[in-house]
């Protein structure tokens, strides 16, 4: 009489391997969203952390910031220029990850295509008081090594 144990064991190993493979991209996507939220919250609160979660060269819209020294100057300007965004972050407005079917406006998608470099794009939005912020982040690295190396920001004022 033949035993079915080897076949059952093979199926079990295969099922575990498939489940693990499915979890790895989900974990990476979760890490990517987490690092983008950390990047934004540190922009409002802690320049040291803001710098530490940024990879260089860093691109903001179409401007390239090559190193930490240039980044600290850029960060001061960013905080000053983006007072509404910083205010919303400080007030605790949640950043929402966009669904895969809504990967940014046509303008943002066009800008993403012009930026060269490696990484995974995370698209998000934040609804503030009368304004919607559309944010696109390119993340490099994984786990503790994940950092943001490009950001595209678009604001849309609600008309009512």
67-85 in b/e form (b: 16+ CB < 10 A) is eeeebeeebeebeeebeeb
- Tens-digit pLDDT profile for residues 85-135: 888 888 877 777 766 556 667 888 888 888 888 899 888 888 887 888 888
Domain ranges of the chain: 5-157
User: What CATH number is given for 5-157 in this structure?
Assistant: 3.10.450.50
The Cα–Cα gap between 17 and 27 comes to 15
- Tens-digit pLDDT profile for residues 19-50: 333 333 444 456 888 999 899 989 988 889 99
């Amino acid at each position: 009489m033949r035993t079915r144990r080897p076949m059952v064991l093979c199926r079990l190993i295969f099922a575990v391997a498939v489940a693990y493979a499915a979890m790895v991209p989900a974990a990476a996507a979760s890490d990517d969203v987490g690092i983008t939220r950390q990047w934004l919250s540190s922009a409002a609160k802690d320049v040291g952390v803001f710098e530490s979660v940024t990879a260089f060269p860093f691109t903001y819209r179409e401007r390239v910031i090559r190193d930490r020294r240039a980044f600290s100057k850029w960060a001061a300007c960013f905080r000053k220029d983006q007072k509404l965004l910083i205010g919303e972050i400080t007030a605790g407005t949640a950043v929402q990850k966009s669904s895969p079917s809504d990967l940014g406006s046509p303008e943002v998608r066009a800008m993403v295509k012009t930026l060269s470099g490696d990484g995974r794009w995370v698209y998000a939005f934040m609804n503030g008081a009368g304004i919607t912020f559309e944010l696109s982040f390119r993340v490099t690295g994984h786990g503790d090594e994940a950092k943001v190396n490009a950001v595209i920001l678009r604001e849309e004022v609600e008309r009512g």
